[in-house]
């Protein structure tokens, strides 16, 4: 338990299980995926405007048809909105998030610290840099820069103030946090959606992109084995229960970090250290371990 003000507590995040993977910069992953594709497969700068269940895609370069259309177009997916126009849109969960990579410095493992309606986490990267995430309750659209973040977290424990002092303003990303209501299906006709388009979630378990990758591997294998209609049905059956469970778990794990009530946060801070780490680890094992 930390003793500085505001009352703060290490989160119940279990020690990282390296068998479940190691953290790495998103840009490296994007480079890896891009490098695996033939150059002609990518058409940058073409915006998709409408997708129809029969495989028709209307885009900035004209109209195309395909046996299979995969909508991996993020939380505000045009694919989802075209194919399922009546579905409710993403819901703002009440907190905004900043991310940054601080210059290399030794830090004590992966730690997340909770305050009242705000939190700070840091994760050492393999190259020595330190990935930091900050979250705070705020109305959607609130914009706060690095100078204000330094001020806001100035009295938190080490190395938080130093990490923020070493960061560069142009490297700070801020995103409001959205979650998608549970969908009844991820497929329709010749169209499948995956990743945030299908199940945008809070970042509390660091699982959004991981689940998108699992979706992609499962979808490719299912279509390869069974063809389009049966493969899409198999993909939907396999992925919806798991991804929707992760969305719920992620929401629940993060909720106490955003409590603002003093009595509740005092209780939380007293109770959390009493929970056995093994119990916390076990409850998340199924999320962090997956085999195709
Ligand atoms: C603060 C924060 C921290 C996170 N931390 C983690 C983490 O630690 N680990 C993790 O696994 N996940 C994390 N996530 C979640 C992760 O970022 C997302 O789940 C992941 O990026 C989803 O991938 P995606 O491909 O489905 O969507 P996106 O990454 O949103 O990609 C969608 C792509 O589609 C393109 N696109 C959109 N609309 C169109 C259109 N009309 N025409 C053409 N192209 C279009 C976009 O330009 C974009 O390239 C975090 C998210 C946030 C907000």
Mapping DSSP to helix (H, G, I), strand (E, B) and coil, where does residue 136 land? strand
Q: Does residue 283 fall inside a structural domain?
A: no
User: Six-digit token pair at 287?
Assistant: 């999320």
User: Are 234 and 97 contained in the same domain?
Assistant: no
User: Are 123 and 242 contained in the same domain?
Assistant: no
Tell me, using a 6 A CB cutoff, whether residue 253 lines ligand 1.
no
Q: Does residue 285 fall inside a structural domain?
A: no
Return the DSSP state at 31.
H
Residue numbers of the domain that contains 196: 50-90+184-255
pLDDT, position 291: 87
User: Are 19 and 65 contained in the same domain?
Assistant: no
Domain boundary among 178, 210, 228: 178
User: Are 219 and 82 contained in the same domain?
Assistant: yes
Q: Does residue 264 fall inside a structural domain?
A: no
Asked whether 187 and 203 are in contact (CB, 8 A), the reply is: no
Whose CA is closest to atom 21 on ligand 1?
209
Whose CA is closest to atom 36 on ligand 1?
73
Q: Does residue 154 fall inside a structural domain?
A: yes
Domain boundary among 140, 157, 178: 178
CATH of the domain at 131: 3.30.9.30
CA–CA gap between residue 240 and residue 275 (Å, rounded): 30
pLDDT, position 289: 85
Of ligand 1's listed atoms, the one at least distance from the Cα of 173 is: 1
User: Are 80 and 191 contained in the same domain?
Assistant: yes
Q: Does residue 233 fall inside a structural domain?
A: yes
pLDDT, position 5: 35
Number of structural domains found in the chain: 2
User: Are 100 and 86 contained in the same domain?
Assistant: no
Tell me, using a 6 A CB cutoff, whether residue 117 lines ligand 1.
no
User: Are 166 and 198 contained in the same domain?
Assistant: no
Distance 209 CA to ligand 1 centre (A): 7
Distance 77 CA to ligand 1 centre (A): 10
User: Are 97 and 226 contained in the same domain?
Assistant: no
**DSSP per-residue letters across 119-145:** EEEEEE-TTS-EEEEEEEE--TT----
Asked whether 121 and 8 are in contact (CB, 8 A), the reply is: no
User: Are 96 and 222 contained in the same domain?
Assistant: no
User: Six-digit token pair at 23?
Assistant: 């953290």
Tell me, using a 6 A CB cutoff, whether residue 213 lines ligand 1.
no
Asked whether 236 and 244 are in contact (CB, 8 A), the reply is: no
pLDDT, position 278: 75
CA–CA gap between residue 8 and residue 157 (Å, rounded): 9
User: Are 229 and 98 contained in the same domain?
Assistant: no
From first to last of its 292 residues, the chain has per-residue pLDDT tens of: 232 333 344 444 444 444 556 788 888 999 999 999 999 999 999 999 999 999 999 999 999 999 999 999 999 999 999 999 999 999 999 999 999 999 999 998 899 999 999 999 999 999 999 999 999 999 999 999 999 999 999 999 999 999 999 999 999 999 999 999 999 999 999 999 999 999 999 999 999 999 999 999 999 999 999 999 999 999 999 999 999 999 999 999 999 999 999 999 999 999 988 888 777 777 788 888 888 8
User: Six-digit token pair at 93?
Assistant: 């969960």
Q: Does residue 74 fall inside a structural domain?
A: yes
Give the rounded distance of the alpha carbon of 16 from its chain centre: 17
Q: Does residue 284 fall inside a structural domain?
A: no
Strands 69-71 and 191-193, by their bridges, are: parallel
CATH of the domain at 216: 3.50.50.60
Q: Does residue 201 fall inside a structural domain?
A: yes
The complex's ipTM? 0.98
User: Are 108 and 62 contained in the same domain?
Assistant: no
Tell me, using a 6 A CB cutoff, whether residue 207 lines ligand 1.
yes
User: Are 202 and 246 contained in the same domain?
Assistant: yes
Tell me, using a 6 A CB cutoff, whether residue 47 lines ligand 1.
yes
């Amino acid at each position: 338990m930390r003793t500085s003000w505001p009352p703060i507590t290490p989160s119940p995040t279990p020690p990282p299980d390296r068998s479940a993977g190691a953290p790495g910069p998103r840009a490296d992953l994007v480079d890896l995926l891009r490098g695996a594709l033939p150059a002609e497969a990518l058409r940058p700068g073409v915006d998709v405007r409408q997708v129809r269940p029969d495989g028709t895609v209307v885009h900035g370069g004209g109209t195309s048809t395909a046996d299979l259309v995969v909508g991996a177009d993020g939380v505000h997916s045009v694919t989802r909105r075209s194919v399922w126009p009546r579905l409710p849109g993403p819901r703002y969960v009440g907190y905004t998030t900043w991310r940054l990579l601080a210059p290399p410095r030794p830090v004590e493992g992966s730690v997340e610290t909770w305050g009242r309606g705000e939190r700070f986490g840091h994760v050492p990267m393999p190259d020595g840099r330190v990935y930091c995430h900050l979250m705070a309750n705020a109305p959607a659209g609130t914009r706060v820069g690095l100078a204000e973040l330094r001020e806001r977290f100035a009295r938190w424990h080490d190395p938080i103030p130093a990490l923020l002092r070493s960061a560069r303003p142009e490297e700070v990303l801020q995103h409001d946090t959205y979650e998608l209501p549970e969908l009844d299906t991820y497929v329709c006709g010749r169209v499948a959606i995956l990743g945030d388009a299908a199940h945008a979630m809070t970042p509390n378990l660091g699982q959004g992109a991981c689940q998108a990758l699992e979706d992609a591997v499962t979808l490719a294998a299912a279509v390869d084995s069974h063809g389009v209609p049966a493969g899409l049905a198999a993909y939907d059956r396999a992925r919806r229960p798991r991804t929707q469970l992760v969305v719920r778990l992620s929401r629940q794990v993060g909720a106490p970090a955003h409590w603002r009530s003093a009595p509740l946060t005092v209780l939380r801070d007293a109770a959390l250290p009493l929970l056995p780490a093994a119990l916390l680890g076990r409850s998340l094992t199924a999320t962090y371990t997956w085999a195709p």
